[in-house]
Chains A and B, each alone.
Chain A
Amino acid sequence: MKKSAFLGTLTAATFAAGFATAGTLEDVKAADELKCGVATGLAGFAAADAAGVWQGFDVAVCRAVAAAVLGDGTKVKFVPTTGKTRFTALASGEIDMLARNTTWTFSRDVDLKFEFVGVNYYDGQGFMVPKALGVSSAKELDGATVCIQTGTTTELNLADFFRSNNISYEPVPIETNAEAQAQYLAGACDVYTTDASGLASTRATFENPADHAVLPEIISKEPLGPLVRHGDNQWGDIVRWTLNALITAEELGVTSANVGKTGMEAGKNPEVNRLLGTEGDLGAMLGLDKDWAARAIAVGGNYGEIFEKNIGEKTAIGIARGLNASWTDGGLIYSAPFR
């Protein structure tokens, strides 16, 4: 009996492995749950709050996709991943999508066989130092000990920056943000480097944030965005257009407060109508229903709302919109049109 049960499991596992590529949308619907990879804990981007509920800028993207596909923004299983485990988790199918401040690079897109669906945060690598050190530029960091989060683009940028400026440094690779923070605060490294948004988020959790400064140099382009596996274009389109829906909603003034009202009847702006499904049926082209985008916007608000609520200037993290303002306000956040 036991043997046959074992063989049965084995066979099931074989078939499961064989059919895993059948279609992520069907898998998600069948499981009635979206498995979304996020960071292990980065305040403002992805962190569990006191009640154990995941909150943050990246988390909001997961919730929007879950709302569009499953009709409920809480049907998400958040899988915390480190810089090192995230790609394996996505490639193996352990998660359906990854929203973990991941930089869109050529090799990740092409060689690692992933598909970046867009950019939800334009970032760049920066340096944080204690003010007591008296450093005002990254070029003065000759001989410094630098804490880096390993498994990121950061260590490559760092190597390039120090080499091109012909100065030396001592890298200390660290697995998670929390460990890097401990070493940095104890003075075991002079500098902590990661994406500027991550630095702002880390600094906000310090006892005395004012004692630390982020240096002016931004040494890289880090377009961060959600990604999915290569080869399932329908699923990729769903995640891409959910993100675009959030961005377009901000541009067109659709917010979580008014989406319920405007969603009921056709308004005057045809693009809003197409977005919210009161005119035409863009949802059917994606394999979803008409209200998909309305639900995605309703769950956490449009892009601007999500930004302000999680990492905006009124929060402890206090990041200005800067490059991440809508294109209508001079930023880079821009969506292809809904038509």
Chain B
Amino acid sequence: MSALPDPHNQGFRLSQLIYDTRYRSMTIQIVAMFGILSFIGWLIGNTNANLAALGKPIEFGFLGDQAGYDINQRLLDYDSQDSHLRAAFLGLLNTLLLALLGCITATILGVIIGVLRLSKNWIVARLMTVYIEAFRNIPVLLWILIVFGIMIEVMPAPRDFRSGEASMMLFDTMAVTNRGIYIPEPLFSGGFSDFSLFGDSALRFDVSTNLLIFLAVLFGGIYGARKLKKRADTIQNETGVRPTTWWQQLLVIFLPTILVLWAMGFHLGYPALKGFNFAGGTYLRNSLIALWIALSLYTAAFIAESVRAGIQAISKGQSEAAHALGISPGRTMNLVILPQALRIIIPPMISQWLNLTKNTSLAIAVGYMDLTGTLMGITLNQTGREMETLLIGMAIYLGLSLLISAAMNWYNNSVKLVER
């Protein structure tokens, strides 16, 4: 065998790019990359050329033009004189509000339903199975329309309140109508005035100083209460006797908060029938409620399945060990099983939250003016800038999803098992 001479080193030849296995894979990848890039380039070039031929080259100047239309649910000040950019921003806030409300309720519902589906009670477990199968196997748009349809058909119209066919609830503080639910709103009669961020630009944002002060005091109180609890823990560890601190904790949280509220003239504004609608109070629109309920119930079904999978992935020995130590079933779930299951549940939960956020774009079906309804709906229609509005809309949804992902991945990393 030693008769074989070493291959003569002839240096690099071009044919090696194809015939030499050391280089071939790289050649293929580079060729493929050029292919894909040129395809994308062709797509962009073709789009631009065709838009230019239509006389509509891509430009974003229309965002500064006057929008001319009104938005029903305004979280910030807006009127029809404002720009399209401002309208899009208001729409984005509506999207965010809906996504936030939906994610919170979907998660709470999903965890409860997922745990109940594993219940030893036959009826409860089967009911939850029926719930999950019903909700995740029917398109969410239908759920939205059904919830909305039920709301507008079953609940009384505002004019029924005048004729006495319907009446307000909870000591006349709350009105449930087919246009939505009116609840009392928190108001401040004194205190400090609001301050404005970003001046006069389209992204201007009024912040209530009173609300900030209230939140600061509340969180300060909670922080103080935790300090007290920690001190009690230390004393208990040292002496074995736990001092009674519950009333001190409550006092630390509530006393300053109530004092601050009183000082700023806090009171509730109640809804009252006036003209065609109720006026005053906080108005939760029928479209918001329908979307909130439908999206939460729908996404909760998926989250419940992730929760069930996470719990079942925890070895049975864990719960048996907990039971052997005499820990009650409820505490076993809360202290032993769920904390471990959480690590398995969070990654699929992220995608459910992303799904919910993207599903909010169905809002226009019931007349909720989210980002899709304003920027990619009326603005698109009034200005005829399909390409631009859709590109901006896509970029915003992408950014939103990436933000949620990033935040959740950060959280996921912080709770994941530290291996030694």
> In the complex the two chains form, is A88's CB within 8 Å of B386's CB?
yes
> In the complex the two chains form, is B55's CB within 8 Å of A151's CB?
no
Q: Is A174 an interface residue (CB 8 A)?
A: yes
> In the complex the two chains form, is A173's CB within 8 Å of B377's CB?
yes
B199: min CB distance to chain A, Å = 24
Stretch at the interface among B114-122, B307-315, B361-369: B361-369
Partner of A150, one of B80, B274, B287, B373: B373
> In the complex the two chains form, is A155's CB within 8 Å of B70's CB?
yes
Complex: how many Å from CA A254 to CA B78?
A: 55
Q: Mark B283-319, 1 if CB is under 8 A from A, else 0.
A: 0001100000000000000000000000000000000
Complex: how many Å from CA A111 to CA B385?
A: 10
> In the complex the two chains form, is A188's CB within 8 Å of B365's CB?
no
> In the complex the two chains form, is A156's CB within 8 Å of B153's CB?
no
A142: min CB distance to chain B, Å = 6
In the complex formed, the residue of B with least CB distance to A154 is B69
Instruction: Point out which of A17, A142, A151, A183 has the most chain B C-beta atoms below 10 A from its C-beta.
Output: A183
Task: Point out the residues of chain B lying under 8 angstroms from A132, CB to CB.
Answer: 159
Q: Is B236 an interface residue (CB 8 A)?
A: no
Q: Is A266 an interface residue (CB 8 A)?
A: no
Complex: how many Å from CA A75 to CA B378?
A: 34
B385: min CB distance to chain A, Å = 9
Partner of B377, one of A84, A88, A142, A160: A84
Q: A150-B377, A155-B70, A182-B152 are in contact. Are A170 and B277 (CB under 8 A)?
A: yes
Interface of A (DSSP majority class):
mixed
Q: Is A234 an interface residue (CB 8 A)?
A: no
Task: Point out the residues of chain B lying under 8 angstroms from A187, CB to CB.
Answer: 152, 157, 159, 178
> In the complex the two chains form, is B382's CB within 8 Å of A14's CB?
no
Q: A143-B276, A145-B179 are in contact. Are A186 and B54 (CB under 8 A)?
A: no
A7: min CB distance to chain B, Å = 11
Q: Is B384 an interface residue (CB 8 A)?
A: yes
Q: Is B46 an interface residue (CB 8 A)?
A: yes
Task: Point out the residues of chain A lying under 8 angstroms from B380, CB to CB.
Answer: 84
In the complex formed, the residue of A with least CB distance to B274 is A143
Q: Is A163 an interface residue (CB 8 A)?
A: yes
Q: A17-B46, A171-B72 are in contact. Are A145 and B276 (CB under 8 A)?
A: yes
> In the complex the two chains form, is A188's CB within 8 Å of B364's CB?
no
Q: Is B104 an interface residue (CB 8 A)?
A: no
Complex: how many Å from CA A132 to CA B277?
A: 15
> In the complex the two chains form, is B381's CB within 8 Å of A156's CB?
no
Number of chain A interface residues as a range: 35 or more
Q: Is B383 an interface residue (CB 8 A)?
A: yes
Q: Is A54 an interface residue (CB 8 A)?
A: no
Q: A143-B277, A150-B377 are in contact. Are A171 and B70 (CB under 8 A)?
A: yes
> In the complex the two chains form, is A190's CB within 8 Å of B152's CB?
no
Q: A150-B377, A173-B377, A188-B286 are in contact. Are A156 and B364 (CB under 8 A)?
A: no
> In the complex the two chains form, is A133's CB within 8 Å of B159's CB?
yes
Q: Mark B90-122, 1 if CB is under 8 A from A, else 0.
A: 000000000000000000000000000000000
> In the complex the two chains form, is B55's CB within 8 Å of A155's CB?
no
Q: A174-B367, A186-B152 are in contact. Are A14 and B276 (CB under 8 A)?
A: no
Q: Is A76 an interface residue (CB 8 A)?
A: no
Q: Is A241 an interface residue (CB 8 A)?
A: no
Complex: how many Å from CA A43 to CA B26?
A: 64
> In the complex the two chains form, is A190's CB within 8 Å of B276's CB?
yes
> In the complex the two chains form, is A183's CB within 8 Å of B152's CB?
yes
Partner of A173, one of B50, B80, B364: B364
Q: Is B279 an interface residue (CB 8 A)?
A: yes
Task: Point out the residues of chain A lying under 8 angstroms from B152, CB to CB.
Answer: 182-183, 186-188
B236: min CB distance to chain A, Å = 57
Task: Point out the residues of chain B lying under 8 angstroms from A182, CB to CB.
Answer: 149, 152
Complex: how many Å from CA A144 to CA B157?
A: 13
> In the complex the two chains form, is A91's CB within 8 Å of B275's CB?
no
A169: min CB distance to chain B, Å = 8
Task: Point out the residues of chain B lying under 8 angstroms from A150, CB to CB.
Answer: 364, 373, 377-378, 381
Q: Is A320 an interface residue (CB 8 A)?
A: no
Q: Mark A155-183, 1 if CB is under 8 A from B, else 0.
A: 11011101100000111111100000011
Q: Is A315 an interface residue (CB 8 A)?
A: no
Complex: how many Å from CA A246 to CA B18?
A: 71
> In the complex the two chains form, is B80's CB within 8 Å of A163's CB?
yes
Q: Is B169 an interface residue (CB 8 A)?
A: no
Q: A111-B383, A143-B276 are in contact. Are A186 and B364 (CB under 8 A)?
A: no
> In the complex the two chains form, is B369's CB within 8 Å of A173's CB?
yes
Complex: how many Å from CA A230 to CA B55?
A: 9
User: Which residues in chain A, 71-121, are within 8 Å of chain B measured between CB atoms?
Assistant: 83-84, 87-88, 91, 107-108, 111-113
Q: Is A258 an interface residue (CB 8 A)?
A: no
In the complex formed, the residue of A with least CB distance to B180 is A188
Q: Is A21 an interface residue (CB 8 A)?
A: yes
Q: Mark B351-394, 1 if CB is under 8 A from A, else 0.
A: 00000000000001101010001000110111110100000000
B109: min CB distance to chain A, Å = 27
Task: Point out the residues of chain B lying under 8 angstroms from A112, CB to CB.
Answer: 384
User: Which residues in chain B, 23-47, are within 8 Å of chain A measured between CB atoms?
Assistant: 46
Partner of B69, one of A83, A143, A159, A186: A159
> In the complex the two chains form, is B381's CB within 8 Å of A84's CB?
yes
> In the complex the two chains form, is B178's CB within 8 Å of A111's CB?
no
Q: Is B142 an interface residue (CB 8 A)?
A: no
Task: Point out the residues of chain B lying under 8 angstroms from A84, CB to CB.
Answer: 377, 380-381
> In the complex the two chains form, is B377's CB within 8 Å of A87's CB?
no
In the complex formed, the residue of A with least CB distance to B71 is A171
Q: Mark A213-249, 1 if CB is under 8 A from B, else 0.
A: 0000000000000000011000000000000000000
> In the complex the two chains form, is B69's CB within 8 Å of A155's CB?
yes
> In the complex the two chains form, is B382's CB within 8 Å of A145's CB?
no
Q: A188-B157, A188-B286 are in contact. Are A17 and B50 (CB under 8 A)?
A: yes
Q: Is B64 an interface residue (CB 8 A)?
A: no
In the complex formed, the residue of B with least CB distance to A170 is B72
Task: Point out the residues of chain B lying under 8 angstroms from A107, CB to CB.
Answer: 382-384
Partner of A144, one of B50, B178, B276, B386: B276
Complex: how many Å from CA A28 to CA B279?
A: 56
> In the complex the two chains form, is B68's CB within 8 Å of A151's CB?
no
Partner of A175, one of B274, B276, B364, B384: B364
Contacts A150-B381, A155-B70, A182-B152 aside, 13 further interface pairs with beta carbons under 8 A come to A17-B50, A21-B53, A107-B384, A113-B55, A142-B275, A142-B276, A143-B276, A145-B179, A169-B70, A172-B287, A172-B367, A187-B157, A189-B179
The contact sample of 5 A-B pairs, CB cut-off 8 A, is A145-B276, A155-B378, A160-B80, A170-B277, A187-B178
